[in-house]
């Protein structure tokens, strides 16, 4: 997947969170790639992107939210 903008990152992060929600294994390489891309954004932007991805993903449990916020967007 080629990432052109923040919308692509939000889409990929929400897809990853949905996989985590249903218990599908998420390759560490995918998490690492998304984290690397997110790390190029300012902290406030990462918070906004995490919120947008959570909204896009829909109802998420604790594990999926953890994947989204911590593993991908490096937010504590």
CB-CB contact of 1 with 8 (8 Å) = yes
Q: Say if residue 62 is exposed, middle or buried (CB neighbours under 10 Å; 0-12, 13-18, 19+).
A: exposed
pLDDT in tens, the chain (76 residues): 556 689 999 999 999 999 999 999 888 998 899 999 999 999 999 999 999 999 999 999 998 999 899 888 988 6
Spell out the domain ranges in the chain: 6-72
Give pTM, 2 decimals.
0.86
Would you tell me how many other CB atoms lie within 10 Å of the CB of residue 59?
Answer: 8
């Amino acid at each position: 997947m080629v990432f052109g903008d923040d919308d692509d990152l939000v889409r990929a992060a929400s897809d990853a969170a949905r996989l985590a929600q249903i218990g599908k294994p998420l390759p560490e390489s995918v998490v690492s790639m998304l984290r690397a891309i997110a790390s190029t954004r300012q902290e406030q932007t990462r918070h906004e992107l995490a919120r947008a991805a959570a909204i896009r993903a829909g109802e998420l449990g604790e594990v999926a939210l953890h994947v989204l916020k911590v593993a991908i967007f490096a937010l504590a």
